[in-house]
Each structure stands twice: as C-alpha cells, then as structure tokens.
Amino acid sequence: MQGAVSRLQTALNNDTFDCQYLVTPNTDHIVMLQSNTVLQESYKHSFMCVADGWPVVAASRLLRKPLPCTIPGSDLLPALLANLDRTKNHNKKYKVFLFGAGEGVAVRAGAVIEKTWGENIEIVGAVSPEFGFDKDAKASSKYAAVISNAQPDILVIGLGAPKQEVWVYKLQSQLKVKVALCVGATIDFIAGEKKRAPLWVQKSKLEWLYRIYQEPRRLAKRYLNDALVFPVILLKELVKK
C-alpha cells in the first residue's frame, strides 16, 4: 500500500494533466479480459495496476510472478487521501472530483472526504451520471468537459467494471486530470451507501461472501461464474508455463 500511495503521490506532484489512470483487477476482471478486447486495451494503457482480491495474488504466486499483497481500491483511496492530508502543503490543496455511484451519493461522499481529510483536500465536483451515458458519445464528452473544467488532481471513477475502465480509456485524451482511479464501489462505501465487510471478514478473505449477502441478485450469478471460470484460466496459464 505504501508503495502504491507513494507512486500516486509522485504522479500528483507533476504538472501534467494527462489522465494517468489506475486499474484494480479482481477475478471478475480477469474473466472479462479473456474476451473483452476494449477492456484489454484499457488495461494496456493504464499507468498502474494493483490487485483487488486475494485470488489474483495467489495466482501470481503460483505463476512465479508474485505480488506482495492485495491493494483494494476501497482501501487505496482513503490511504492516498490520508497521505495527502499529512503532507500539510499550505500552498496547495489537492483537487478531487467524484464521478459515479447513484444519484446524490457522490455529493455525500464528497462531504465525508472534506470532513475527514479536508485540510489539504478540496472537492471540486461530484457527479452521478445518468444510466447509459457511456453509450452516448456526446454525453460522455459533456461529462469529460465538466470534469476537465474543474482541473482535478484526482478523478475518482465509480462506475463499475468494465464501464469505468473502458470509459476512461476512450476519453483519456479529453480528460484534463492528473490521476484517475477506477475504484468501483468506493464512492458508495465512503458515502455510507454500502457497508464494507467487518475487518475480521476481510482478513478471513470472505469479503466476497459479504458482498453477495448485500446484493444477491446482482452479484451471486457473477461470483458463481467467476468461481468456475477463473480456475480454468489459471490452469491454462500453468500449463503454458
């Protein structure tokens, strides 16, 4: 985590607004990457990639390209904000734009961020886009313009995968931001719209089960499919080795 935060801090200290974006692969991403060519391109063009899920880390070790640990997006953003807050740079406030989640959720998350880490952080925008906007080029460009006009240091994208990764990849040249983080439900967690699993559940590597309990209709089928397909993908990679 410390290494990831440090690298993001370095990117934020640059003067260029070239939208370097971060992706956080989990088993569902790995499954989608087998057939989604646009998502593949999005991953290739990302500047940073951290594992959001212990199966990905376990697979990396089996494949002898070991990752040291998981870095969930929902932990990474608070860690980054806390680090920026500790910096105490009184000549600068880091600008944050929240993009995603349901109606009004981003605004509530922004209020929590300013209350918790506000001394060095400024929320310059909080937008919950309408459903299906990403299929409309004009609507996507409109949102990109709103974001760019605010010139945020950090763009937090919470649209869910693969929408968020594909959207930022396609709009990268239009987004005048320093760093974009594709971090799924993180905006919901910060706003209190959704609850993270208790710490003991996270440490037991059972957070996925807690998420299914919260959203069974949306997640049960997806998690079952991933549980069946991901081991097959891993086996194929092992055979190649």
DSSP code of 197? P
pLDDT digits (tens, 9 = 90+) for 173-225: 999 999 999 999 999 999 999 998 888 888 888 888 888 888 898 899 999 99
| Other CB atoms within 10 A of residue 46 CB | 20
Count structural domains, the chain: 1
Single out the residue of 56, 69, 63 nearest to residue 29, CA to CA. 56
The pLDDT assigned to 91 comes to: 67
Instruction: Flag whether pLDDT at 45 surpasses 90.
Output: yes
Query: Containing domain of residue 35, as a range?
Result: 2-240
pLDDT in tens, 9-21: 999 999 999 999 9
H or E segment and range at residue 126: strand 121-127
More confident residue, 203 or 2: 2
> Which residue has better confidence, 203 or 42?
42
Measured distance CA(200)–CA(215) in Å, rounded = 20
Confidence tier at 88 by pLDDT (50, 70, 90):
low
Paired tokens of 196: 């993270």
Indicate whether 89 pLDDT > 70. no
The token pair at 83 is 């680090």
Question: Is the sign of the CA dihedral 88, 91, 93, 95 positive or negative?
Answer: negative
Report the run of H or E that residue 8 belongs to, with start and end: helix 2-12
Read off the pLDDT of each residue in 48-75 and give the average, rounded to a whole number. 95
Q: Using CA atoms, how far apart are residues 181 and 20, in angstroms rounded to an integer?
A: 9
CB 233 within 8 Å of CB 30: yes
CB 150 within 8 A of CB 124: yes
Q: Rounded to two decimals, what is the model's pTM?
A: 0.94
Q: What is the pLDDT of residues 93-144, one digit of tens each?
A: 899 999 999 999 999 999 999 999 988 899 999 999 999 999 999 999 999 9
